Amino acid sequence: MKKTRWLVPVCFIIAAILIQVLGPRLVDDDGTISAVIRILGWLVAIIAILIWWLFFSKLRWRTRFLGIAVLAIVITILSALFRFEGFTGGHKAQFSSRLASTKEERAIDYFADRKNPSSTAAESLSIAPNDWPRFRGPANDQTVNSEAIRTDWDTRPPKQVWRQPCGSGWSSFIAVGDYLYTQEQRGEHESIVCYSAANGEQIWIHQDQERFEEAAGGPGPRATPTLHTDGRLYAVGATGMLNCLDPIDGKKHWSTDIVSDCGGELIDWAISGSPVIHEDLVLVNPGTDQAFIAAYDRLTGEKRWQGPEARAGYATPIVMEIQAELQVVIYRADGVGSYALDSGKELWFHPWSNAPKITVAQPIPLPDGGLFVSAGYGGGSILLDITKSDAGYTVTSRWERPNKFKLKFNSGIHHDSHIYGLDEGVLSCFDLSTGKRTWKKGRYGYGQILMVKHAPKAPRLIILTEQGDIALLDISPETMTELARFPAIEGKTWNHPVLRDGRIYLRNDTEAACYDLR
């Protein structure tokens, strides 16, 4: 019998290890692309070793088949002991023990033991200046003004006001008055839930027989509810159920399935854009391969118009004024465009995307009329200028930076001609005047950021990391300094935090919590 050359599989393993080490350096530390390279490296190495083992190892056939049988047994045992829990934002697989209950089961058991109050204490609900009535805050900029928070967290950690399980999903909280609203998956029901901001007690729940689930992000709704000044709550689920509810008791005014209504197939990671209210319209991203923007009557739920046919991205519509004309801007799969509020007619469009056509981060309007746009997955960033003449709108790029400053599903924040954001999981500062990065440091994963402005002091950033920590940072165009950090919630965290009156409200697909930062 010929001698087996064990050097061959060893070389495959060494090659895979080198790919793990060198891959990130070859792609400018791009977390997404380097993760794909690492996964492919191991996958190719494993397949090559299996082919070598079966056909070129020169071992007895009995030994070869025995080896495959042992491998199958090991895989079966591991599958019986551990369940797959999806991927992190950097495409690292997550597992949990099958001996423990699932996150969904824990949430269902927790709320099964608790009865809702008969109703909220309020008879009506109005939005105060310090409230947070919509996704990313009242100004859609993830910024809080005039909030004084402590920095001595090491000696006096922020007080935990409450902490408890919640249903799955990537919806964030909104906070109005004494109440919090969010969306969750509870078993086979997609749920809109009202909680007490004071103690986390569930006040009411509205449920639809809907469930969306995919391997990377798991089950549950992705969008965040919106509360309008007329006292109506609007929420769109992952599969397209748009609800208008009474925020006091959760009773339904109307509902409609925007996916069926607008046509096409649901995109891979489902509807993630939150509803936006403008006058008598509810503006939504229907999230299909044919529909990316539509408007509904906010009082009746009747569809008023639908934009031109194109594949949707995952962003939320933005109502903004460009050249003295109000319009709705949205980042669709192939680029960013603007549409007339009275008809949905396309006013202008500019292509800017990535290879998989996954666009999530919110475009950022600038005081000088520019529009900053960024995409992850190898995309990059661009600064647009939009002008208008008798012939219509013209869009030009002030600068383009392919594969630079890539905001994946973590939107940036503008301050003093700079954008701060998590560039593929690493905090970075980008100078808008030059289109160049001024610094990049601090690995916080694919979490979310919030800016706190407290004049005359310089603004600070609060980062809810992907691991569930809260970090407080001093920032400037020159550098950043982490002042303090504490573990807040457990589990993968992609949801946006809310800060109001010194209290921060946060959640992920496992639990929710409130901490006092004053």
pLDDT, tens digit (0-9, with 9 covering 90-100), for 237-295: 999 999 999 999 999 999 999 999 999 999 999 999 999 999 999 999 999 999 999 99
Which of 444, 412, 454 lies closest to 431 in space, CA to CA? 412
pLDDT of residue 120: 56
Whole-angstrom distance, CA of residue 343 vs CA of residue 318 = 16
| pLDDT reading at 116 higher than 70 | no
Whole-angstrom distance, CA of residue 120 vs CA of residue 125 = 10
Single-letter residue type at 255: S
| pLDDT reading at 1 higher than 60 | no
The residue-averaged pLDDT of 53-60 equals: 91
pLDDT of residue 90: 85
Q: Is 306 exposed, middle or buried (0-12, 13-18, 19+ CB in 10 A)?
A: buried
pLDDT of residue 91: 82
Whole-angstrom distance, CA of residue 477 vs CA of residue 483 = 17
Percent of the chain scoring above 90 in pLDDT: 79
* Segment 13-36, tens digit of pLDDT: 998 888 888 776 666 666 777 777
- Provide the token pair at 94: 């997550």
pLDDT of residue 398: 97
pLDDT of residue 289: 96
Whole-angstrom distance, CA of residue 131 vs CA of residue 27 = 41
Q: Is 272 exposed, middle or buried (0-12, 13-18, 19+ CB in 10 A)?
A: buried
pLDDT of residue 148: 74
Minimum mean pLDDT among 54-58, 131-135, 196-200: which range?
54-58
Residue 66 confidence class, pLDDT cut points 50, 70, 90: very high
The residue-averaged pLDDT of 128-145 equals: 94
Say which residues have a Cβ less than 8 Å from residue 189's Cβ, sequence separation at least 6: 207, 208, 209, 210, 211
The pTM of the whole model exceeds 0.85: yes
Q: Is the dihedral of CA 174, 143, 421, 465 positive or negative?
A: negative
pLDDT of residue 51: 93
Cα distances (Å, whole numbers) of residue 110 to 41, 82, 117, 204: 42, 23, 16, 15
Which of 494, 511, 469, 444 lies closest to 86 in space, CA to CA? 494
pLDDT of residue 34: 76
Higher pLDDT, 242 or 155: 242
List, in sequence order, every residue forming a beta bridge with 430; answer none if it has no partner. 419, 437
Cα distances (Å, whole numbers) of residue 95 to 83, 101, 146, 161: 5, 13, 42, 30
- Provide the token pair at 75: 């895989």
Whole-angstrom distance, CA of residue 502 vs CA of residue 516 = 6
Phi-psi region for residue 208, left (φ > 0), alpha (ψ -120 to 50) or beta?
Answer: beta
Higher pLDDT, 134 or 229: 134
Q: Is 489 exposed, middle or buried (0-12, 13-18, 19+ CB in 10 A)?
A: buried
Higher pLDDT, 202 or 1: 202
pLDDT of residue 40: 87
pLDDT of residue 118: 52
Whole-angstrom distance, CA of residue 463 vs CA of residue 268 = 28
Q: Is 193 exposed, middle or buried (0-12, 13-18, 19+ CB in 10 A)?
A: buried
| pLDDT reading at 357 higher than 70 | yes
> How high is the mean pLDDT of the chain?
93
Whole-angstrom distance, CA of residue 246 vs CA of residue 271 = 23
| pLDDT reading at 458 higher than 90 | no
Whole-angstrom distance, CA of residue 170 vs CA of residue 183 = 8
Whole-angstrom distance, CA of residue 275 vs CA of residue 288 = 15
Q: Is the dihedral of CA 58, 62, 68, 70 positive or negative?
A: negative
* Segment 308-346, tens digit of pLDDT: 999 999 999 999 999 999 999 999 999 999 999 999 999
The residue-averaged pLDDT of 373-379 equals: 94
- Provide the token pair at 204: 């009411």
Task: Please state, as a whole number, how many other Cβ atoms lie within 10 Å of the Cβ of residue 311.
Answer: 19
Minimum mean pLDDT among 48-57, 157-166, 241-250, 254-263: which range?
48-57
Residue 39 confidence class, pLDDT cut points 50, 70, 90: confident
Whole-angstrom distance, CA of residue 163 vs CA of residue 158 = 13
pLDDT of residue 2: 64
Single-letter residue type at 53: W
* Element of type H or E holding 93: strand 93-97
242 contacts 301 by C-beta, under 8 angstroms: yes
Minimum mean pLDDT among 71-75, 161-165, 215-219, 317-321: which range?
215-219
